[in-house]
Structure 1
Amino acid sequence: MDILWFLPTHGDGRYLGTSEGARAVDLSYLRQIAQAADSLGYYGVLLPTGRSCQDAWIAAATMIPVTERLRFLVALRPGVTSPTTAARMTSTFDRLSQGRLLLNVVTGGDPGEAEGDGIFLSHDERYAATAEFLAIYKRVLASETVDYEGKHLRVRGAKLLFPPLQRPHPPLYIGGSSPPAHAIAARDVDVYLTWGEPPEAVAAKVADVRRRAQELGRTVRFGLRVHIIVRETERAAWDAAEDLIRHLDDASIAAAQNAFANFESEGQRRMSALHGGRRDKLEVSPNLWAGVGLVRGGAGTALVGDPETVASRLRAYAALGIDTFILSGYPHLEEAYRVAELLFPLLPVSTAAKRNGAVDHNVTGPFGEIIGQRYAPKPLAATPRPPRAPDAQ
């Protein structure tokens, strides 16, 4: 599994929908999260995009010199940026980061935000423009000189003098639940992303994109974007989920849901339909909780439970063909550690350091405070977890 974390450039805190327990997301805080993800062995971090966020490219670029291995999943915005400008940005970032760039193709689902950026296209037209964008963008990054004339875009003699380090281009990711999104995923990208829907819904989307790709002679990988609320016991995890939304009132939920209703995103519609704005039936599938989506757009579900249960749910998604997991939790700094410490030992994580009894403590440890200023703590593998009493959900 490639497990990524999240840089919350739109804000962070202990609770949703309130300023209580909120944090200033400044350079120092983002650096702390990025360095934690880097040292803990996360494959990379996703940066959100849109007018509610700080700019993803600039934020990611500031993290290059303070991290070593961490990759950055940054948004490409067809219609907002020209394909040739985006190609130069891509190449520069990829070269300066030594090949640590990943690219998230975002068409945008909020008409109001799109119009603010000068985009006055319908949902399907935005995907048509995205297809034209990628046709130019990928060829330019492959060092071709490109002449192209489409309905939405036109270039003549487009070229790139400094190619990216990753050839022919850094990996491309895309989300989207509509047929046009699936068509682009099958034809143009490397990884198709879905938000955390119940497994049967995810399976249907994976099957459709895989079928479309096979018809084109292509293979696409698959990823899941979901929040995580993991604690040492099941009861503690569900208590943490309820605590996350304890400051939400009905007016805040209604305002958020009214805003989301104006989106043209099929994925957002599906997220909102999971809970219908109601707080009384938020567990929409075993251990899949839709409380985050009451006020947060985009990814609105969380896997909730003890480490063994959450790991089992993630493995169930992996069995559907998912190999990339983009996780997050509130607050993002502390939860980056919690997820890595509780879940990584239970999962086939691609890059995480193995912090267990096989670690050479003369080189990398010991881990934990020295006991009595004399004795190193026993390795984790030598300290089994006590049996867990069953908890009511």
Structure 2
Amino acid sequence: MNVFWFIPTHGDSRYLGTSEGARAVSHDYMKQVAVAADTLGYDGVLLPTGRSCEDAWVAAASLIDATRRLKFLVAVRPGLMAPTLAARMAATFDRLSGGRLLINVVTGGDPVEQESDGVFGSHAERYEISDEFLKIWRDVLTKTRSGEPTHFQGKHLSVKGAKALYPPVQQPYPPLYFGGSSDEAIDLAAEQVDVYLTWGEPPAAVAEKIARVRERAAKAGRTLRFGIRLHVIVRETNEAAWRAADELISRLDDETIAKAQANFARMDSEGQRRMAALHGGRRDKLEVSPNLWAGVGLVRGGAGTALVGDGPTVAERLQEYAALGIDTFILSGYPHLEESYRFAELVFPLLPRGQREGGSGQQLPGPFGEIVGNTELPKAAPVRVSAS
């Protein structure tokens, strides 16, 4: 089980929809979250993309030297950059980080934002561009060791004699992650990417989506891995976790929710439509599946659900998704620094993750915790198991 955390490059919150207790984006804060994730044993971090965020590539590159083993899942946006430039950026990042780059392919789902960036294609055209982009990107990086040029003539993109002279550390290229719920998205995933991502829908809906992707990938002679994007609200008791969920949206007013939902409704993303349908903009039925809470999606685009509960409960729900074939869990929680610690302390010991080294590259022995009375070692922590 691979567990990733999240770098909040669009700012961090204690209460959604308000600046009360909020934190501005700064390099110091991003570094704190990244170092915490690295030290706690998370496998990687996702950096979001879009005009609401600091640039993912610049932010991730600034964190390479602050971390030791943490991988960075960084977005490429077909249509916003040339595939050859994206290939050279990926190779450089992968080399400078010692092979710690993962690529998140984002086609974009907000036509207003797309147009503000000069991209005016329809939903179908964006996927056509993404398909051609990835064919060029993959071929250029695959041929870095042989020195062969890439020639490609497509409907939207064309290159002649394209090359990247510096090969990436990972071969043939850094792994490609991608999420999308439309037919076009599933076709693209089946044919070109390595890990298919889904947002945190109820397990039955996730199972149906995975089955669709597997079937189409099999027709293309390929197999994929699967990942899920979720928030988490974990506390020492279930009651405390649900109180924390209520507190997270306690400052939200109906006007703020309505504005956010109107923005999401204009998008042509099938995944965003599915997220919004889970709650319909209403506060009264937010638990959409056992311990799966849709309150975040009242005002946050993209991933809008959280697993809520104590450590054993959240671990059990994660295992349910793992049983569907998911091996990568991309998580986040508010505020991101504190929740990274809570999740690691309360849930990591309950997950089948194998041995993980800390950020320094060493697994340090105890003692763990503050020494008692200057001489006595703290008592060992009890092993907690789910009541079920």
Letter in 2 for 1:329: G
Q: Is the 8 A contact 1:87 1:140 kept in 2?
A: yes
Q: Say which of 298, 305, 308 aligns to 1:304.
A: 308
Distance in structure 2 (CA, Å) of the matches to 1:350 and 1:293: 33
Distance in structure 1 (CA, Å) of the matches to 2:64 and 2:193: 24
Letter in 1 for 2:20: E
The Cα of 1:386 is off from its aligned counterpart by 10
The Cα of 1:349 is off from its aligned counterpart by 2.0
Q: Who is 2:327 aligned against?
A: 323
Q: How many residues align?
A: 381
The Cα of 1:313 is off from its aligned counterpart by 0.5
Distance in structure 2 (CA, Å) of the matches to 1:387 and 1:6: 26
Q: Who is 2:98 aligned against?
A: 98
Once the two structures are superposed, the pairs formed by residues 132-171 of structure 1 within 5 Å of their partners are: 132-143=132-143, 144-171=148-175
Q: Deviations over 1:210-267 (max 9, x none)?
A: 1111111111000000000111111000000000000000000000000000001000
State yes or no: 1:223 paired with 2:244.
no
Q: Deviations over 1:177-206 (max 9, x none)?
A: 001110111110000000000000000110
Which sections of structure 1, spanning at least 5 residues, go unmatched?
none
Q: Who is 2:369 aligned against?
A: 368
Q: Is the 8 A contact 2:47 2:75 kept in 1?
A: yes
Distance in structure 2 (CA, Å) of the matches to 1:319 and 1:126: 33
Q: Who is 1:89 aligned against?
A: 89
Q: Who is 2:193 aligned against?
A: 189
Q: Deviations over 1:31-83 (max 9, x none)?
A: 00000000111010000000000000000000000100000000011000100
Per the alignment, do residues 387 and 145 of structure 1 end up closer, same or farther by CA in structure 2, a change over 3 Å counting?
A: closer
Per the alignment, do residues 353 and 65 of structure 1 end up closer, same or farther by CA in structure 2, a change over 3 Å counting?
A: closer
Per the alignment, do residues 351 and 73 of structure 1 end up closer, same or farther by CA in structure 2, a change over 3 Å counting?
A: farther
Letter in 2 for 1:370: I
- Structure-1-length-normalised TM-score: 0.95
The Cα of 1:119 is off from its aligned counterpart by 0.5
> Secondary structure, in 3 states, of the residue corresponding to 1:13?
coil
Distance in structure 2 (CA, Å) of the matches to 1:182 and 1:45: 24
The Cα of 1:364 is off from its aligned counterpart by 2.6
Q: Who is 2:278 aligned against?
A: 274
The Cα of 1:385 is off from its aligned counterpart by 4.8
Q: Who is 2:18 aligned against?
A: 18
The Cα of 1:350 is off from its aligned counterpart by 4.8
The Cα of 1:351 is off from its aligned counterpart by 5.6
Q: Say which of 348, 351, 366 aligns to 1:347.
A: 351
Once the two structures are superposed, the pairs formed by residues 22-41 of structure 1 within 5 Å of their partners are: 22-41=22-41
State the identity as a percent: 67
Q: Is the 8 A contact 2:132 2:154 kept in 1?
A: yes
Q: Deviations over 1:296-336 (max 9, x none)?
A: 00000000011111111100000000000000000000000
Q: Is the 8 A contact 1:344 1:352 kept in 2?
A: no
Letter in 1 for 2:64: I
Once the two structures are superposed, the pairs formed by residues 38-117 of structure 1 within 5 Å of their partners are: 38-117=38-117
Q: Is the 8 A contact 2:313 2:386 kept in 1?
A: no
Per the alignment, do residues 387 and 268 of structure 1 end up closer, same or farther by CA in structure 2, a change over 3 Å counting?
A: closer
Letter in 2 for 1:379: A
The root-mean-square deviation of aligned C-alpha atoms, in Å, is: 1.6
Per the alignment, do residues 118 and 301 of structure 1 end up closer, same or farther by CA in structure 2, a change over 3 Å counting?
A: same
Q: Is the 8 A contact 1:45 1:71 kept in 2?
A: yes
Distance in structure 1 (CA, Å) of the matches to 2:386 and 2:213: 42
Per the alignment, do residues 387 and 259 of structure 1 end up closer, same or farther by CA in structure 2, a change over 3 Å counting?
A: closer
